[in-house]
């Protein structure tokens, strides 16, 4: 069975009419710098992304992303895995927090933990991740360096739904960029991040703006 996602909107009652507002709850999970989080927060603030950024959760106390959330006035929580006996306990707490806030879409933005099948099942086809390479090439935490070292002429960015396997779920958006001759890995990193910052808010907007269906490896958008 395939689910259809995104049909929920919230109803706001105006005196003479009922207007459907497709404002949905998102949570962003982070571990590091949080430049993608920043772009998502900026897009929400400017209205380019019609979502309610309800919660930012970090598994790292020192994550600069937490400071960004604080500065933007977004509710933020540190969930330190060291305070839990097992990964299951940690994830159970994570699920509890997300469900309590009625999160529609869980956005991973540099969240450096592999989520278990238990977690994935709780938010089936409602977890999205960004990966700094053209999947299925260069999976893993060193994707930019790996692509550069391999000598590929083209790499890019992938936004995908999260399934039980790492860097594997159905692709939501993908964009390529060229690696020029003599280009350093630092320059490539900058280009990749710039691309990420453009395509992640746009892909999230697409996921939230209407319904989508997941059929096998394909994400099918049911509305424009
Ligand atoms: C990004 O390169 C993203 O593709 C990867 O982790 C990095 C996070 O960067 N999953 P930032 O914390 O958003 O700056």
Q: What is the pLDDT of residues 201-224, one digit of tens each?
A: 999 999 998 889 999 999 999 976
Distance CA 26, CA 162 (A): 15
pLDDT at 6 (0 to 100): 40
Q: Please tell me which residue, 15 or 154, carries the higher pLDDT value.
A: 154
Residue 6 beta carbon below 6 angstroms from any ligand 1 atom: no
Q: Which atom of ligand 1 has the smallest separation from the CA of 33?
A: 12
User: Which residues are within 8 A (CB) of 160 and not within 5 positions of it... i.e. 6 or more apart?
Assistant: 128, 129, 131, 135, 167, 168, 169, 170, 171, 172
Residue 56 and residue 173: Cα distance in Å, rounded?
Answer: 23
Is 33 near ligand 1, meaning CB less than 6 Å away? yes
Q: Give the HSE-up count for residue 96: Cα atoms under 13 Å, Cβ half-sphere.
A: 8
Q: Whose CA is nearest to atom 14 of ligand 1?
A: 35
Q: Ligand 1, closest atom to CA 130?
A: 4
Establish whether residue 196 lines the binding site of ligand 1, counting it when its CB lies within 6 angstroms of any ligand atom. Answer: yes
**What number does the ligand 1 atom closest to the CA of 64 have?**
12
pLDDT at 23: 72
Contact 132 CB / ligand 1 (< 6 Å): yes
pLDDT digits (tens, 9 = 90+) for 37-80: 999 999 999 999 999 999 999 999 999 999 999 999 999 999 99
- Give nearest CA residue, ligand 1 atom 6: 110
- Look at residue 12 and tell me whether its pLDDT is greater than 80: no
pLDDT at 32 over 80: yes
Contact 171, 157 (CB under 8 A): no
For CA atoms 99, 104, 64, 113, the dihedral sign is positive
């Amino acid at each position: 069975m395939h689910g259809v996602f995104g049909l929920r909107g919230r109803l706001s009652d105006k005196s003479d009419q009922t207007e459907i507002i497709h404002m949905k709850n998102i949570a962003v999970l982070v571990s590091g710098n949080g430049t993608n989080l920043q772009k998502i927060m900026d897009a929400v603030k400017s209205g380019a992304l019609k979502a309610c950024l309800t919660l930012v959760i970090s598994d790292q106390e020192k994550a600069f992303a937490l400071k960004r959330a604080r500065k933007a006035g977004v509710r933020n929580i540190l969930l330190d895995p060291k305070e839990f006996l097992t990964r299951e306990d940690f994830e159970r707490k994570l699920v509890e927090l997300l469900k309590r806030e009625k999160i529609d879409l869980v956005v991973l933005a540099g969240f450096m933990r592999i989520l278990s099948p238990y977690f994935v099942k709780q938010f089936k086809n409602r977890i999205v991740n960004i990966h700094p390479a053209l999947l299925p090439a260069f999976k893993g935490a060193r994707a930019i360096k790996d692509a550069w070292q391999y000598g590929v002429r083209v790499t890019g960015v992938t936004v995908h739904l999260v399934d039980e396997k790492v860097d594997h779920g159905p692709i939501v958006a993908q964009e390529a960029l060229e690696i020029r001759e003599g280009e350093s890995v630092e320059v490539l990193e900058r280009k990749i991040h710039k691309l990420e910052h453009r395509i992640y808010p746009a892909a999230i907007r697409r996921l939230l703006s209407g319904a989508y269906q997941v059929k096998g490896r394909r994400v099918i958008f049911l509305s424009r």
